[in-house]
Amino acid sequence: MKADPKGVLTGSHNLSGNQACAEGALAAGCRFLGLYPIMPALEVSERFLERAPRVGATFIQMEDEISALAAVLGASWTGKRSMTVTSGPGLSLMMEHLGLGVMLETPCVIIDIQSVGPGLGLPTRAAQGDIMQSRWGSHGDYEIVVFAPSSPQEMFDYVIKAFNLSERYRIPVAVMSDAYLARLQENVVIPPAEEIDIEPRRYFKGETDKYLPFKRDKDFVPPMVKIGDGYRFHVTGLTHDDRGYPIMNEECQEYNVHPLVKKIRDYTDEIIEVQETGIDDAEVVIISYGTTARAALKAMEQARSAGIKVGSLKLATVWPFPEKRIFELAKKVKAFIVPEMNFGQLVFEVERCSIGKANVLFISHGEKGVENIDDILSAIRQTQQMNEVKKCIIELKKGV
Amino acid sequence: MKANPKHVLTGVYYIDGDVASGYGAMAAGCRFIAGYPITPSTEAFEAFCRWGPQVGAMFIQMEDELGSISAVVGAVWSGIKSMTITSGPGYSLMMETIGYGAMLETPFVLLNIQRGGPSTGVPTKTGQADMMQSRWGSHGDYELIAFAPESPQEMFDYTIRAFNLAEKYRCPVMIMSDECVGHMTEKVVIPEADKIDIEPRRFYTGPPEQYLPFKPDPDLVPKMAKAGDGFKLYITGLLHDEKGHPVSNEEYSMKYVKRLVDKIRLNKDKIIELKEENTEDADIVVVSYGISSRVAVKGVEIARQRGIKVGALRLVTVWPFPDEKIAELAKKTKAFVVPEINYGQVVFDVARCVHGQSNIVLVPHGGAGVHNPADIADAIEYAAKTDKQIEGVVEFKTRLEKLVFEGGFKLKE
Amino acid sequence: MNLITSIFNKGIETSGIERKRISIPSDIPFSPEVIEKLGVDYFHTARGRAIPFGTGLKLGNPDLRVMPVTGDLMTLGGNHFVHGVRRNMELLVICVNNFIYKKIDGKTAPSTANKFSPYSTFEEPFNFPHLGNSCGAVYTARWTALHAEELAASIAEAITKPGLAVIEIIAPGPNYYTDIDDIDENLLKFYFDNSIIKNDTNPREVGITPEDKIIVGRFTDKKRPTFIDVYNVQLGKTIGEKFTPYGVTQTEKKKSGGSDGGN
Amino acid sequence: MEEPTKAIKEIHPDPSATSGVHPMENLLRMERMPHIWCPTCGIGLAVTAFTAALTKANIDTNKMSIVSGIGCTGRVAGYVKLDSFHTTHGRPIAFGTGIRVANPGIKVVVFSGDGDLIAIGGNHFIHAARRNIDMLVICVNNFIYAMTGGQVAPTTPLAAYATTSPYGCVEPPFNIPYIADSAGAVYVARWTTLHVRRLTNSITEALQKTGFSVVEVISPCGMYYSRINRLGDGLDMMRFYHDNVEIRNGEDTKNLDIGFQTKIICGKFVDRERPSYMERYNQWLSEVKGARGEG
């Protein structure tokens, strides 16, 4: 299916990350925004609201983030592609409904503009401190897909992908931006509508009384219906059977929850997207995501011109984690360098997947935020002196 | 310091884990509980409501979990020890304020009786799927302490220990119990008050003008003051300096968040508590926590009968994670078997610390029940027989999974 | 200190309550200098959680006088508000209402940078004193920040009330990320000019609409037992002699009645 | 056998009511019977009244959605044969708001309990009333959290016992009609489960309103509230309603407090017109479009 031209602002524009996010959503066919205002995510909603009347999209400003996501889930069941946008504290409030979205297998997109936490933190400064939260923040078992764009253009592209994957797998998908990318203005090329692929929702086509809301197709994804089409279905956040009726025993728990995990774990190859640069001959690989990837790529180029064989593995999807690829690389390379704007989150995953074959260097919050090329370069230099594999994360010492 | 005899219900009881935890809180000097009813944790709150008022403690049932945890943080800053009690969905709601509490370095205890998830899931039956949430559930960087007791007696003991560690490190402490332990009725011995050690709050005693609420002592933990003593406290959840005033000086503020993380990471050895059994010459080590470790005992027994050398490592504290211990065991262990009532959470941390030196086998269980010990024994046997190195975590196919997904199974209500 | 905080200062001064006994949990940032001058304890809470935080403070130490000052009160904190009022916790809730109505009394209202006030688009605002009153608030009042005298007197009066008192301050400006000192006095003037004092009006009648002037004043003042009062009476009745009343503190023992004003 | 048939006919104009088929079969998920509610619980009566009202109101039930939260009443969505959602604790109104705003063609009914709607969901309740979201809220008030085993609720009368108020409730209860009224609801009524016919009429009327309508249903909880407070069983509670309910339509909502075993005032209290959220939204939309010349 192709995009609805009404929402696509074809052309070349100078947009901030946040504006590109709203454009991406509209292009992807998002027609409902449930929001609660929070810094630094305001511009996404502002842009969406400004464009909403012409595009025919609806929005509502709710009383808090809890209800914002609840409304989004409700709206999604009416057949509208829906999203919400927030920042760290709001994401924390949304955690319960993230779980509901998973359990009701409701497609929706959550945009998180990360800033420094915990607590109120520093709302204006970029961070990547919610990455583990996006994977583990709600109670119970589930798997989720998370994108981490590094430029306004990627923001636009990934938001569309996020909507597509959320429809494909019937899950909430998160896009983790940050306060730096939110303001970063760059050229964004929006293609014509007919060049944008849209994954249509998988609707049930049979008779109304034959519909079972959680009867899974072979790929564990059940087809959906809309409210108001006469199917009179029931769905619940309780552990349920195919009919959506609650059953409280361990067989049903296995029957219900295991596929929630499997529908992602068994399809990671289709979902995972990484961008590799200079990996083939690399001795050192920088693993990065989101805005830190910008610094990583620059540092890589500088190191290459100094004659060090450095490669870059940029994670477009942070979750599911590309463990197979890193297992492979671990056997080939000397070290991984993981720059993150936090005090160690995804680096633990890299450590796990390095399986004792490669060193793992971690660079925490740089003084210069996303532009910490110097730190990465000094980490690269440090790897040159390493002869043995240490069985722990090596944290780059900085002058702080 | 010793416990106040007035607060300790010395004696031998036959009670469930929830109630034991409520009594533990009283013994630990908890004077305020704000809660909201949620199955299966309510009994702990009820126990406190019944006995608390008779010894001058206060309780309130708030309008929701957001309110109860905020009230707890407030009560702690008024100078008393405080606690809240919840289960999965309530825990998810509390996430924002847990991070806020960590930012304010507020010592409080949170009892989470885990149930089957996600979402509403199976409210009346067990699960262990909030473990990673307890570590990573709030936004931003922080570290905290989490216990996983396995019996009502431990619920009592570790509730007291949780309060002590919360005061010692000024951080939120989680008791990650589960429905099985919460509703398990067993003998609980409550000792005399003078046998119970209590960590008093580290109050600042100097002149108010010189008080800096976030100036750390050498162990990275600052001293506390309470509202109403003329300190003119300025406490904010925004990034702040030693005075507590908000700052946007990035270099300094990053140092502050780093200390929040480091005060746990660097004091790890003093916090971590493990129980080891026969790990010295074991080929296979079973790593477990909470109710799973009680089931694992049986699995280990069966495996030993089959002639396999099995050791057991029980994580009493799950967070901070015992990286070094696992790494050390990995050097001589062929494989680790990790039974958890989830589809893989703590097992990833075990895998991380093993650094490719041993195989990792996860014995998953979706919740609403505990493992079949035979599954654990089979997983041990599988691990013992597998000689090739396997990258990543092996998910063991349990009897339950085979039953449900392989042929002709019909769900019964 | 700016306008509002100096009014707080005056209100506290007039009430005669020892400053160190006052705590302000708030989701609006105050500058450290202001708190230094006010001489109170200040807690910048998570968004909308000033009332439950204050509930914890008050129950933890009933000797405190807690004055939650909130901006997110009616959005994130709406539930805490209605329940706090119902319980009649001893709090003085000050709601800084930064609503922007496009028109009031036929005149176009100036707007602030905050486009996301819940009322900025097309929704109708809460009638805040009425909602408070319907849940059982013992005291309700509304002023603009330019009614300095009246507002200070209201604060002095309400802070000694046994029970939950509500004062709504119409003051466009502060929100979660801007300081309480950032209130634009020019904006305030519009609301001051378009308001009318009507004390003791039935709160039902004081909703803010685009058609009418804003009604300000002290609307209700009644007595109801507080949470701690009811707790002590009820538990005293059912537990009997074994029960020691909670929170009967040094300060309150000195006074004969429940309320405490003056040193 | 004469009596019940006559009664059913009266509340249920559907001719199938006497035809041997269960009169509500087309609106209930019969395959899920028996339901989980305890003997003498009042929720079933509220559901009966609701389904009867649906038939009476003569609206397209395919274009309706019912949303419940958590709790005993939260299970209603699971038994009613409409597009039905069993959501998280306290959030059915927020969930329903999303449905209604995203697709204004759907009539949303929120059917949940006092703990769900008024305790944890209080904020969504008052905000939906303020916005005047077009939705019918049926709030079954049984004075207690029954699903979790009898904890004190914000509707528990003063001095009544519950497991978390072992010495008697110390918090005054909410007057639900008053708070709904002051937040801006356009239709507010209260009935007990004894008043099935009046309740049915009220729900029928409310279903036809545009805007935020609230019907409070006082219901006996024989298992927890009555047992803990030694009030007898459900039938005794019905008798109590019979003797102590006073019907005062149009009464000022501020006089509707409920004490422990005191008089309960029932009736229809508020019925007014206010522009609904969608009306305001559409007006705003046409203004914006007009200003931009897109009209």
Q: Check A247 against B411: CB less than 8 A apart.
A: yes
**Cβ-contact C9, C38 below 8 angstroms:** yes
pLDDT tens, position by position, A52-106 = 888 999 999 898 999 999 999 999 999 999 999 999 999 999 999 999 999 999 9
How many Å lie between the alpha carbon of C243 and the closest alpha carbon of chain B?
5
Residues whose CB falls within 8 Å of the CB of residue B282, separated by 6 or more in sequence, listed in order: B309, B310, B311, B333
pLDDT tens, position by position, D183-242 = 999 999 999 999 999 999 999 999 999 999 999 999 999 999 999 999 998 899 999 999
Residue A371 has pLDDT above 90, yes or no: no
CB half-sphere exposure, B114, CA atoms < 13 A: 38
The listed CATH number (3.40.50.920, 3.30.70.600, 1.10.3720.10, 3.20.20.70) that belongs to domain B272-405 = 3.40.50.920
**Cβ-contact A160, A6 below 8 angstroms:** no
Q: What is the pLDDT of residue B253?
A: 67
The average pLDDT across C223-251 equals: 87
Q: Do B5-195 and B272-405 have matching folds? A: yes
> What's the rounded Cα separation, in Å, for the pair C251 and B284?
65
The average pLDDT across C113-126 equals: 59
| Mean pLDDT, chain B, whole residue set | 94
The average pLDDT across B294-321 equals: 95
Q: Record the pTM.
A: 0.94
Q: Check A89 against C177: CB less than 8 A apart.
A: no
Instruction: Give the chains touching C; criterion: ≥3 Cβ pairs < 8 Å.
Output: A, B, D
Residues whose CB falls within 8 Å of the CB of residue B12, separated by 6 or more in sequence, listed in order: B187, B188, B189, B190
| Mean pLDDT, chain C, whole residue set | 83
Going from the C-alpha of D129 to that of each of C127, D123, D203, the distances in angstroms are 12, 10, 17
Q: Please, which pLDDT band fits residue A209 given cuts at 50, 70 and 90?
A: confident
| CATH topology assigned to domain B5-195 | Rossmann fold (3.40.50)
Residues forming CATH 3.40.50.970 domain(s) in chain A: 5-195
Residue C181 has pLDDT above 70, yes or no: no
Residue C106 has pLDDT above 70, yes or no: no
**Cβ-contact A92, B99 below 8 angstroms:** yes
Q: What is the pLDDT of residue C212?
A: 85
> Which of C79, C116, C121, C178 to mutate: most A Cβ within 10 Å?
C116
CB half-sphere exposure, B369, CA atoms < 13 A: 14
Give A273-340 as a DSSP string.
-EEEES-TT-SEEEEEETTHHHHHHHHHHHHHHTT--EEEEEESEEES--HHHHHHHHHH-SEEEEE-
What residues in A contact B140, CB-CB < 8 Å? 88, 116-119, 121, 127, 129-130, 342
pLDDT tens, position by position, A259-274 = 999 999 999 999 999 9
Residues whose CB falls within 8 Å of the CB of residue D34, separated by 6 or more in sequence, listed in order: none
Q: What is the pLDDT of residue C189?
A: 83
Residue B169 has pLDDT above 80, yes or no: yes
Characterize D55-92 residue by residue with b for buried, 16 or more Cβ atoms within 10 angstroms of its Cβ, and e for exposed.
bbbeeebebbbbbbbbbbbbbbbbbbbbbbbbbbbbbb
pLDDT tens, position by position, C137-160 = 999 999 998 899 999 999 999 999
Residues forming CATH 3.40.50.920 domain(s) in chain A: 276-395
How many Å lie between the alpha carbon of D37 and the closest alpha carbon of chain B?
16
| Structural domain spans, chain B | 5-195, 272-405
How far is C-alpha A284 from the geometric centre of its chain's CA atoms? 26
* Three-state helix/strand/coil letters over D76-114: HHHCECCEEEECCCCCHHHHHHHHHHHCCCCEEEEEEEH
Q: Please, which pLDDT band fits residue C259 given cuts at 50, 70 and 90?
A: very low
Give C212-259 as a DSSP string.
SPEEEEEEEE-----HHHHHHHHHHHHHGGGPPPTT--HHHHHSSSS-
Q: Touching check for D280 and chain A: CB below 8 Å?
A: no
What residues in D contact A65, CB-CB < 8 Å? none
Q: Check A63 against C115: CB less than 8 A apart.
A: no
Residue A236 has pLDDT above 70, yes or no: yes
**Cβ-contact D61, D50 below 8 angstroms:** no
Q: Check C124 against D182: CB less than 8 A apart.
A: no
Characterize C97-125 residue by residue with b for buried, 16 or more Cβ atoms within 10 angstroms of its Cβ, and e for exposed.
bbbbbeebbeeebeebebebbbbbbbbbb
Give A33-81 as a DSSP string.
EEE---TT-HHHHHHHHHHHHHHT-EEEE-SSHHHHHHHHHHHHHTT-E
Closest Cβ–Cβ partner in A135, A140, A323 for B88 = A140
How far is C-alpha B153 from the geometric centre of its chain's CA atoms? 16
What residues in B contact D164, CB-CB < 8 Å? 35, 37, 42, 45-46, 49, 59, 61
Q: Check D164 against B53: CB less than 8 A apart.
A: no
Closest Cβ–Cβ partner in D90, D164, D165 for B64 = D90
Q: Is B164 helix (H, G, I), strand (E, B) or coil?
A: helix
Residue C114 has pLDDT above 60, yes or no: no
What residues in D contact B39, CB-CB < 8 Å? 147-149
Q: What is the pLDDT of residue C108?
A: 58
Residue C256 has pLDDT above 70, yes or no: no
Chain B's closest residue to D32, CA to CA, is B413
Q: Touching check for C113 and chain A: CB below 8 Å?
A: no
Q: Check C176 against A39: CB less than 8 A apart.
A: yes
Chain C's closest residue to B238, CA to CA, is C44
Q: Touching check for D13 and chain A: CB below 8 Å?
A: no
The residues of D whose Cβ lies within 8 A of any Cβ of B are 70, 86, 88-90, 115, 119-120, 122, 145, 147-149, 151-152, 154, 163-167
Which has the closest alpha carbon to D280: D138, D176, D130? Answer: D130
Residue D259 has pLDDT above 70, yes or no: yes
Q: Give the whole-number percent of chain D exceeding pLDDT 90.
A: 80
What residues in A contact B366, CB-CB < 8 Å? 141, 250, 253-254, 256-258
Q: What is the pLDDT of residue C170?
A: 85
Q: What is the pLDDT of residue C73?
A: 72
Q: Touching check for C131 and chain D: CB below 8 Å?
A: yes
Give residue for tokens 């001719």: D15
Q: Give the whole-number percent of chain D exceeding pLDDT 70.
A: 93
**Cβ-contact C24, C41 below 8 angstroms:** yes
**Cβ-contact A147, A162 below 8 angstroms:** yes
Q: Please, which pLDDT band fits residue D289 given cuts at 50, 70 and 90?
A: confident
Closest Cβ–Cβ partner in D32, D81, D96 for A74 = D96
Report ipTM for this prediction.
0.93
Q: What is the pLDDT of residue C120?
A: 47
Closest Cβ–Cβ partner in B38, B65, B119 for D148 = B38
| CATH topology assigned to domain A5-195 | Rossmann fold (3.40.50)
**What structural domains and CATH numbers belong to chain C?**
3-227 (3.40.50.970)
> What's the rounded Cα separation, in Å, for the pair D145 and A354?
51
pLDDT tens, position by position, C186-204 = 777 888 888 999 999 999 9
Q: Check C32 against B243: CB less than 8 A apart.
A: yes
Q: Check A39 against C118: CB less than 8 A apart.
A: no
Q: Check B63 against C60: CB less than 8 A apart.
A: no
Q: Check A119 against C118: CB less than 8 A apart.
A: no
Q: Check B136 against A345: CB less than 8 A apart.
A: yes
Q: Check B58 against C59: CB less than 8 A apart.
A: yes
Closest Cβ–Cβ partner in D70, D88, D151 for B61 = D151
pLDDT tens, position by position, B205-264 = 999 989 999 999 999 999 999 999 999 999 999 889 899 998 877 667 678 888 999 999
Q: Give the DSSP H/E element, type plus range, for residue D74.
A: none
Within chain D, what is the greatest distance between any pair of CA atoms? 69
| CATH topology assigned to domain A276-395 | Rossmann fold (3.40.50)
Q: D2-291 belongs to which CATH class? A: alpha beta
Within chain B, what is the greatest distance between any pair of CA atoms? 75
